[in-house]
Structure 1
Amino acid sequence: MALPPTRNLSGTTLLRSVRERIAPYREVIQPLNKQVAIIRFGTADDDPPVRRLRMEAARISAEQKVKTFSYLGFAVDHQVLDPAISSAHFAGLLEQFNQDPRVAAVIVQFPPPPRLTPLVQRLDPAKDIDALLEERSLQPACATADGVTRLVLPFAQDRPAIAVVGARGFVGRGVVRLLAAEGLAVRELDAGDDLRAVRDADVVVSATGQPHLLTPEHIRPHHRVVVDSGFMPREDGTVAGDVHPAAAAIPQCLTPVPGGVGPVEMAVLMDRIVRQEAAPALKPWASPAVSYLTRSQVAQVARAQPAIPRPAAAPDARRPSPHQDRSHGRRSL
């Protein structure tokens, strides 16, 4: 018996099923004439290359949100602001959306200019559909963290060891909080930690936005699922996740980048806005069950096979950035 090939968990397929489930509510939403406001910032001439790439990720995510809410029958006010906008202008725009009864939800696409970030806290918690306010939000966590958690739960019914890389970042904090609410213990890893510790886990979540951080040195065949929520556009036009391509065929299940967590984030936003505006009793969608082997079963298969040389570790760094930029929790293709 050989280990089965890695299974890619398609977020696109899951999003399609959620759209079909929610489609009937468009007839309820369209007559309401409600709006969703999406604010993002353009690039500045002096932005360093890394920030430009993050802003490109923000653009892609914002445009996917426009499609998501428009599909449901909401009018979308998508504003692209000059990064030099004054604090007073930005604060006034937020207040305008807060006071407008037609606006059902407001999303500020991260990262805004650092000087404007504190002003996001002025957002009305009732309209904070993506939990930008964190503890003050009416939502349990950002949509990305919520989606990641839903992907993990089918693999965690027997309370396995779970590692979250980037646990102090915006998305990572949310994942840790939601998994803890399910009674699951999490090994939190971040800057300064030896990431080889993920080898001791059964389930791995990576939420750093640091391209190709996890290599064959970290990923193992007994990993039931590796949820890669990284999304970083590259100068050659491709997109990189946290998992190095050399490690992509090692775990039992993996969320691809693109096409994995990004569409799942959109599915969560659809779920939230429909329950908020049209169907409060609607049960949140859950990820379907996926078959996997336990660690002991993987070991049994390995003992029955001839020894196979391990892939050489890729030369990427082992440590994530100290704090995940919130833009890495806001992307989709």
Structure 2
Amino acid sequence: MAQILSGKEVAAAITENTRRRTDIMRGAGQPASLRIIRVGEKKSDLAYERGVRKRAEEAGIDLSVDALPTDAPENSVAEAITKANTDPTVCGILLFLPLPKHLNEKKLINLIAPDKDLDGATDTSMLGVYKGTGEGFPPCTPEAVVRILDHYGIDICGKDIVIVGRSPVVGKPLAQMLIAGNATVTTCHTKTVNLPEKTKRADILISAAGHPNTIRAEHVREGQIVIDVGINFNDEGKMVGDVDYEAVSRIVSAITPVPGGVGSVTNAVLLSHICSKR
């Protein structure tokens, strides 16, 4: 069986490091703080909020929530963002997405000050990833993948890495971040012809397609490392990744589980951004 690359172990290490830094900030009279801006009360948003709050407590970060009604007008959401931007006690902003359809999501995202854009959602943050300007922050899920590889001592320099998935928030920025680490990256997707031929060539295979069983036994070979970014739910309501875990884990050398893999690291990465530039 493959080595299990536990995300919980990585998240704990990141959170411990963040806690050390936030303790220093608090001692200097500048406590770390996060402002969540939430529009509506979707169950998924409330569950996410509980998860972020728990991790924030562990990391020594104060958390406040600006909760607006589902039918809040755009100017009210913009005002909440501007208020958080200009509040010197707020170190970072997390705008829950997606927003209700009556709101201009792209416009509102780009109102967030880049140095408070913890989720790496603004155009300025994305530019920082693609051009290496250092502005803003990288998106948290791609960074979580990189942190997992680094934590387990998996060197990407010179490695052939295949990413299955081309979304603007995971696949594309992740490719740029891996290239920055001197990996040779191939991007595939669910429409790629003869996908197994491509995926078997990889030293490291990363699936971020967003579909269960995208990666099966025929897509992998012995000696590979597999990172499963997918979060999906099967017919029984069980959370699963993009990878057929039972079949693939019998073949490859190492694999991340779902749950307990990349998703476990994402919140820890987001909160680490609060003090990474301070």
Q: Normalized against structure 2, the TM-score is what?
A: 0.82
Of the three residues 118, 128, 136, the one matched with 1:129 is 118
* Counterpart position of 1:181: 180
Post-superposition CA distance 1:308-330 (Å, at most 9, x none): xxxxxxxxxxxxxxxxxxxxxxx
Q: Give the 3-state SS of the residue equivalent to 2:109 in structure 1.
A: helix
Deviation at 1:264, TM superposition (A): 1.9
After TM superposition, list the pairs within 5 Å mapping 1:216-231 onto structure 2.
216-223=217-224, 225-231=225-231
> Alpha-carbon deviation of 1:82?
3.8
- AA partner of residue 174 (structure 1): P
Change (3 A) 1:189 1:40: farther
* Displacement of 1:202: 1.5
Question: Equivalences for 1:294-313 in 2 at 5 Å?
Answer: none
Q: Provide closer, same or farther for how the CA distance between residues 200 and 273 of structure 1 changes in structure 2, counting only shifts above 3 A.
A: same
Q: Whole-Å Cα distance in 2 between the matches of residues 84 and 219 of structure 1?
A: 47
Cα offsets for 1:200-239 (capped at 9, x unmatched): 211111122222321222132231x111111234574421
- Residue matched to 2:36: 38
Task: Measure, in 1, the Cα distance between the counterparts of 2:49 and 2:235.
Answer: 20
- Whether the 8 Å CA contact 2:229–2:241 is kept in 1: the answer is yes
Amino acid at match of 1:260: G
* Equivalent position of 2:132 in the other structure: none
* TM-superposition CA deviations, 1:127-167 (whole Å, max 9, x none): 11221113356245212111212333543455221101112
Query: For this pair of structures, how many residues does the alignment match?
Result: 261
User: In the aligned structure 1, how far is the partner of 2:11 from the partner of 2:184?
Assistant: 28
Farther-moved stretch of structure 1 (198-207 vs 62-71) = 62-71
Aligned pair in 2 of structure 1 residues 20, 8: CA closer, same or farther (>3 Å)? same
| Aligned CA distance change for structure 1 residues 192 and 82 (closer, same or farther; 3 Å) | farther
Query: Contact 1:29 / 1:74 at 8 angstroms: preserved in 2?
Result: no
Residue among 50, 61, 64 paired with 1:63:
50
* Matching of residues 139-158 of structure 1 within 5 Å: 139-152=136-149, 154-157=153-156
Query: 1:19 Cα deviation (Å)?
Result: 3.0
Match of 1:198 in 2: 199
- Residue correspondence of structure 1 range 212-291 to structure 2 within 5 A: 212-223=213-224, 225-233=225-233, 236-249=236-249, 250-277=251-278
Which segment drifts farther, 122-131 or 137-146?
137-146
CA 1:39 to 1:239, structure 2 compared with 1: closer, same or farther past 3 Å? farther
Judging changes above 3 Å, is the alpha-carbon distance between structure 1 residues 41 and 241 closer, same or farther for their aligned structure 2 residues?
Answer: farther
Any stretches of 5+ residues in structure 2 without a counterpart? 129-134
**1:124–1:185: structure 2 CA closer, same or farther, 3 Å change rule?**
same
The CA distance in 2 between the partners of 1:182 and 1:102, in whole Å, is 35
AA matched with 1:226: V
Aligned residue number for residue 312 of structure 1: none
From 87, 94, 103, the counterpart of 1:100: 87
Give the 3 Å change call, closer, same or farther, for CA 89–211 of structure 1 in structure 2: farther
Shift of 1:243: 0.8
2:16 matched residue in structure 1: 20
Secondary structure, counterpart of 1:155 in structure 2: coil
What fraction of aligned residue pairs are identical, expressed as a percent?
A: 25
Give the C-alpha shift of residue 175 in structure 1: 0.8
Partners of 1:235 and 1:80 in 2: CA distance? 33
- For the structure 1 residues 89 and 174, does the alpha-carbon distance in structure 2 shift closer, same or farther, using more than 3 Å as the test? same
Q: Which runs of 5+ in 1 are unaligned?
A: 45-54, 278-333
Query: Alignment partner for residue 7 of structure 1, among 3, 9, 28?
Result: 3
Alignment RMSD: 2.5
Shift of 1:97: 1.0
Decide which moves more: 214-223 or 147-156.
147-156
Shift of the 264–34 alpha-carbon distance from structure 1 to 2, 3 Å rule, reads: closer
SS at match of 2:218: coil
Q: 1:245 to 1:82 in 2, by over 3 A?
A: farther
